[in-house]
A and B are shown apart, each in its own frame.
Chain A
Amino acid sequence: MAAVGSACLFVGLLCALYAVGASLYGARTGRRGFVDSSRRAVYALAALMVGAFVVLEAAYLRSDLSFEIVVGSSSTDTPTFYKLTGMWSTQEGSLMLWALVLSIFSAAVLRATRHSLRELVPYATAVLGAIALFFLALSTFVESPFATLAAPAAAGNGLNPLLRNPAMMIHPPMLYAGYVAFSIPFAFAVGALVTRRTGADWIRATRRFALIAWSFLGLGILLGALWSYSELGWGGYWAWDPVENASLMPWLTGTAFLHSVMVQEKRGMLRVWNVSLIVATFVLSLLGTFLVRSGVLSSIHAFGASTLGVPFLAFIGGVLLGSVVLVLTRLPDLRSEARLDSLASREAAFLLNNLVLVGLCFVVFWGTFFPLISEAVTGTESSVGPPWFNRYVTPLALALVALSGIGPLIAWRRATPANLRRAFLVPLAVAAATGVGLVALTPAEDSVPSLVMFALVAFVLAVVAQELWRGAGARRTMTGEPRPLALARLVGRNRRRYGGYIVHAGISLLLLGVAASSAFVDQSDARLAPGQTARVGDYDVTYREPTARFLDDRSGTGAPVTFGAVLDVRRREGGEAFTLRPSRNYYEAAATGPMGVFGRFFSGESTTEVDMRRGLGRDVWMAVQPDLRALIGPIKEANRRFSDVPGEAQALILAAIVERYRRAAPPATFRTLVSPMIAWIWLGGAVVLLGSLVALWPTPGARARRVTSLYAARLGRELSRA
């Protein structure tokens, strides 16, 4: 079956090559048959990539240990969910995932545009084919997922225990879907530049793909944050880690692109901005993939040890250089059709939005790459930590939230002072009242940036509510519908606008959670023996008893040994009481090392299994670090006396060692966090997703009209007044 998978990759590579050649030939000679043939080549590529994917997943499912990739990231006792998702924990698998998702999205967009943009689409096809060619060449000739062993391995390595978390396994395909989908508007932008059709047609054709890309990338980022919070033992969700930043940068420029294109669609302005933004977004998407896969983040010197570093860098360099040359040579075709009528206009707000988002991206870029550049030049490692990022990101984030409220309130072209007063009065009053109330009733003023953020969030939510209320009222005036129906139809007929407003509300809620949980968190690291109590914020945490389990993994990750604790948590005011059971999973080391036959079960990878009490007001989060030093003696004794006993007897001895921890556990270290409103981050993310879905969903009327046009009947002349 590996041969079939390899064949799919190779023939897919041929399809990509053909798609590039045939589309360009068809475009240059006007022979439509070649353009249609190139589109079919992309369809065939998608089918072949799905075939390769199925072959690989089947190998994982049946634990075919003749596949190198399966041996490296799975095993016979890996839970099924992690078998299916183990593919993209590997370099080979993630490259193939890129090519798979790209081929599917490319096929979808070419299918959708098969009757439009006749001059432009062939060039877009060529670009998409070229991108697929790059990834398929890497998959076929450098890092094949179908490489096999001369003889099947006796056992697989299993999935990295840190990745045995549902959020972490869904996170990569979401990120990749985001990165890949930005290829679509990029390819069409290149086509528009080549053919000098720099109007808004290419934007309309790819708008949904840009929004899909943005949504998936955002979801991937959020899942990564959720994994960090739920799985890692530090209690945070964002550390300004280079891998995190790598995904945030294209999301920021993608956000700018999604807003900026509206100005081009409405007014024919910001054309240079838009092509530049999508080029930047796509290049940053490639850079994000490169950063994670090239090894450069562990050290600049590790870069050379990776097989992917040089090809990726060359590809990124080529894409960037080619795009810049194309934009520069097409500047005359990118002149704006209109001028900015007023600073009090939506166009001006969007321009400012672009500047803020690009500024944010630059800060993140500088903080991420400066240490790498510094190490390359000076030879010494350096790092830029959260305090540096927070210093520069916070004011820009505040500006962004403010703009997300201001933009919807201002009309296109020009707003008069009377219009502005009417639009801003209520939201500003709500913001001011929120600020005053928080100062009077809460300790919010202890963190001025957080207080400002809370007021701005209130501003944005008030804006969204006002837009819905007044919009429904306006529709009611025009149609006579009752308000609830008017509201439903208002949103239904203007899904892009109101979906966007829902997204703004979601982002505000998300940042509300970030501000509250960052500025007002209570944290305690305490070493407790059973019976002892620690104080964290408003809570008393009492260590009731230790827990120990052998071959009784309740987290579904396949860990043979788990040590933990039961703690009683009580709020000093209000009487809230509950129990938390944090634990730590231990996985056996691959080989018997100095710790011996029994010791290897305690000396391999270990992962935190956090427990927490979630709530809209706050989360109480807890992790435990058991002290296993007391087990060293029993382990050594077991190694000395029982190393040669059969497996079943070894299991009994291991169980006895594990039980010893429960009976006489030494003090353990507990990290406890009380994080206010952290749940609003995830809730806000869900609202953003909802808004994206609303914005993406086609209106029923539009669908019917498109069907009608395809089976073109004569269209009645529409009368309009002059």
Chain B
Amino acid sequence: MEYVIAVLILVALVGLFVTGPLRRGEREVEAARADRCAELEAAKEVKLREIRDAELDFRMGKVSEADHRATDRELRAQAIEILEQLDAVEGRRPAEH
């Protein structure tokens, strides 16, 4: 009996908590935009870190200047693309592909 009562109480509490999003509803479009923004921010941080890493490798003499310039150019182009997408998501101007 104690077991059944415990199960019923827990099911009620958990059910209330778990079904919250279903009862509340949400602004799906706004949530999707915010999530996309967060993803692009994370991607931007990653790309900036890659640019810094490449710079550090060059300064430490691990790559030639020519190779570093090529890598740096490529990484910066990728970073610009991410910034453009970020601007587009935030509504400043359309993304260019």
Partners in one complex: yes
Q: Mark A640-671, 1 if CB is under 8 A from B, else 0.
A: 00000000000000000000000000000000
Cβ–Cβ contact A720 & B80, under 8 A: yes
A467 and B59 CA atoms in complex are apart in Å by: 12
Q: Mark B54-82, 1 if CB is under 8 A from A, else 0.
A: 11110111111001000101001001100
Q: Is A62 an interface residue (CB 8 A)?
A: no
Contacts A44-B17, A494-B56, A717-B83 given; does A411 touch B41 at CB 8 Å: no
Contact of A471 among B60, B73, B92 (CB under 8 A): B60
Cβ–Cβ contact B3 & A6, under 8 A: yes
Please give the distance in Å from A1's CB to the nearest CB on chain B: 9
- The majority secondary structure among interface residues of chain A is helix
When distances are taken between beta carbons in the complex, the residues of chain A under 8 Å from B6 are 3-4, 6-8
Q: Mark B32-48, 1 if CB is under 8 A from A, else 0.
A: 10110111011001100
Interface segment out of the listed A71-79, A101-109, A413-421, A451-459: A413-421
Interface segment out of the listed A31-39, A209-217, A233-241, A591-599: A31-39
Cβ–Cβ contact B59 & A477, under 8 A: yes
Contact of A37 among B19, B28, B62 (CB under 8 A): B19
Residue of B nearest to A341 (CB): B67
Residue of A nearest to B62 (CB): A411
A8 and B80 CA atoms in complex are apart in Å by: 51
Size class of the contact patch on chain A: 35 or more
Cβ–Cβ contact A118 & B86, under 8 A: no
Q: Is A614 an interface residue (CB 8 A)?
A: no
Cβ–Cβ contact A33 & B17, under 8 A: no
Contacts A116-B42, A266-B50, A712-B37 given; does A8 touch B59 at CB 8 Å: no
When distances are taken between beta carbons in the complex, the residues of chain B under 8 Å from A474 are 56, 59-60
Q: Is A29 an interface residue (CB 8 A)?
A: no
Q: Mark A463-476, 1 if CB is under 8 A from B, else 0.
A: 00001001101110
Residue of B nearest to A715 (CB): B86
Q: Is A378 an interface residue (CB 8 A)?
A: no
Cβ–Cβ contact A710 & B61, under 8 A: no
Residue of B nearest to A40 (CB): B18
When distances are taken between beta carbons in the complex, the residues of chain B under 8 Å from A6 are 3, 6
- The majority secondary structure among interface residues of chain B is helix
Contact of B14 among A4, A44, A706 (CB under 8 A): A44
Please give 10 more A-B residue pairs, beta carbons under 8 A apart, in addition to A419-B63, A470-B61, A705-B45: A3-B6, A7-B6, A32-B21, A32-B31, A40-B17, A44-B17, A265-B46, A413-B67, A702-B45, A720-B76
When distances are taken between beta carbons in the complex, the residues of chain A under 8 Å from B76 are 720-722
Q: Is B2 an interface residue (CB 8 A)?
A: yes
Cβ–Cβ contact A411 & B14, under 8 A: no
Contact of B11 among A3, A11, A40, A475 (CB under 8 A): A11
Cβ–Cβ contact B42 & A419, under 8 A: no
Cβ–Cβ contact B39 & A37, under 8 A: no
Contact of A44 among B7, B18, B35, B41 (CB under 8 A): B18
When distances are taken between beta carbons in the complex, the residues of chain B under 8 Å from A715 are 86-87, 90
Residue of A nearest to B91 (CB): A714
Residue of B nearest to A493 (CB): B52
When distances are taken between beta carbons in the complex, the residues of chain A under 8 Å from B32 are 32, 118
Contacts A15-B14, A494-B56, A715-B86 given; does A709 touch B37 at CB 8 Å: yes
Cβ–Cβ contact A717 & B7, under 8 A: no
Cβ–Cβ contact B28 & A32, under 8 A: yes
Cβ–Cβ contact B42 & A32, under 8 A: no
Cβ–Cβ contact B20 & A712, under 8 A: no
Please give the distance in Å from B44's CB to the nearest CB on chain A: 9
